[in-house]
Amino acid sequence: MIRPLVYLLVLSTASLAGCASPIQATGVLSATPSSFVIDGTAQTMQGRIDAPGGQPWIISADATWITLATSSGTGSGPFVVAVTHNLCDGRTRVGHLRVESDSTTIRIAQDGSDLGACGS
């Protein structure tokens, strides 16, 4: 009695191996670019989230000088991020964007200007 059950299981697995499954497995999110290296001016940049299978995603920033115009979506699409002018004596500042649903991190390094005063 056990032998036919094993045969049926092997037959079922073998028959599915050559077929494309109609159910799409959700994959890992990816973000491009993985980092931005920019000058000290205030500016807006765009990146892209690739989210297989229509996965939802949320992006957050860890610095007050980074603002997200697009902070969430479903499936693949663009995100828009803006940074303020870096007024800090030529010092580069670094902040990060984090894709919450995947723990992907995008680094933003912004050069400082030579205006002499630090601001956020």
* 17 or 82, greater pLDDT: 82
Q: Look at residue 14 and tell me if it is in a domain.
A: no
**How confident is the model over 37-81, as pLDDT tens digits?**
999 999 999 999 998 888 899 999 999 999 999 889 999 999 999
> Taking all residues of the chain, what is their mean pLDDT, rounded to a whole number?
76
Q: In one letter, which amino acid is 47?
A: G
Partners of 67 in the β-ladder: 82
Encoding tokens for residue 40?
Answer: 């000290």
C-alpha 47/C-alpha 33 separation (Å) is 6
Of 88, 89, 83, 74, the residue nearest 106 (C-alpha): 83
Q: Look at residue 15 and tell me if it is in a domain.
A: no
C-alpha 27/C-alpha 20 separation (Å) is 16
Q: Look at residue 62 and tell me if it is in a domain.
A: yes
Q: How many domains does the chain have?
A: 1
* CA 19 to chain CA mean position, Å: 31
Task: CATH number of the domain at 69, please.
Answer: 2.60.40.10
Domain that holds residue 37: 26-110
pTM for the predicted model, two decimal places: 0.68
pLDDT at 116 over 60: no
Q: Look at residue 10 and tell me if it is in a domain.
A: no
